[in-house]
Amino acid sequence: MPNYRVLVSGEGPWMELEGRSQPSGFKVLCHVWATDPAVAANLAAQVVRAAPALSAAVFSHFTNAAPVFIDEIDEAPPGECHEPVAAFHFFPLNGGDDFRPHSFLER
């Protein structure tokens, strides 16, 4: 079964950024074992939504119904195996990052 690298992004969690509460976006790299890219995308979305680092960082609970986006997905080279979820990169939605999701993942 292949190991997939999946770049996941999302928007909407409220965080303390730049000294005030505001909606934010995030990006994170995931590694999941799956039979094909579609299954890998769904697994990565579930892993991100359940990540303790995301829940700990946001004021409002980030639910399983929250939208996430799959920006990129590819097979990791043989031998590359990392933690399922890397460190989250948070940014304000008011221009703090070039946030252009490519596809919406429905549950």
Q: How confident is the model at residue 60 (pLDDT cuts 50, 70, 90)?
A: low
Q: Which residue has the higher pLDDT, 21 or 75?
A: 75
pLDDT at residue 61 in the model: 52
Q: Render the chain in DSSP notation, one character per residue.
A: --EEEEEEEEEEEEEEETTEEEEEEEEEEEEEE-SSHHHHHHHHHHHHHH-HHHHHH-SS---TTS-EEEEEEEEPPTT----SB---EEEETTTSS----S-EE--
65-91 pLDDT tens trace: 567 899 999 998 887 777 788 888 877
Q: How many structural domains comprise the chain? A: 1
Q: What is the pTM of this model?
A: 0.74
Average pLDDT for the chain? 76
Expressed as residue numbers, the domain containing 81 is 3-105
